[in-house]
Amino acid sequence: MADIRPVEVTGTIRLGQFLKLAGLVEHGADAKDVVASGEVTVNGRAETRRGRQLAGGDVVAWGADRARVVTPE
């Protein structure tokens, strides 16, 4: 299984934005497509809402790639 890559964010971030920031997708349009297809999971559950707000500690996965939302203390 792939390692979980930490990605630091400041403030709130939506799932579509995080996918791009974490390098899981290249373009915003790609994020829209993969989220709509049900291929993205947040904390192990399929997520189809691109605008879902993520919180520190959430793990986002697409395929074999996984990234954790890290917020500064």
46-66 per-position pLDDT tens digit: 999 999 999 999 999 998 999
Domain that holds residue 26: 4-70
| pTM summary value | 0.92
* Cα angle for residues 49, 50, 53 (degrees, 5° grid): 85
Can you list the positions of beta strands (E) in the chain? 4-8, 13-14, 40-42, 45-46, 53-54, 59-62, 65-70
What's the number of domains the chain is made of? 1
Question: Does the pLDDT of residue 30 top 60, yes or no?
Answer: yes
CATH number of the CATH domain containing 17: 3.10.290.10
Distance, in Å, from the CA atom of 59 to the CA atom of 54, rounded to the nearest integer, reads 9
What does the chain come to in residues?
Answer: 73
Check residue 20 and give its pLDDT: 95
Distance, in Å, from the CA atom of 38 to the CA atom of 46, rounded to the nearest integer, reads 6
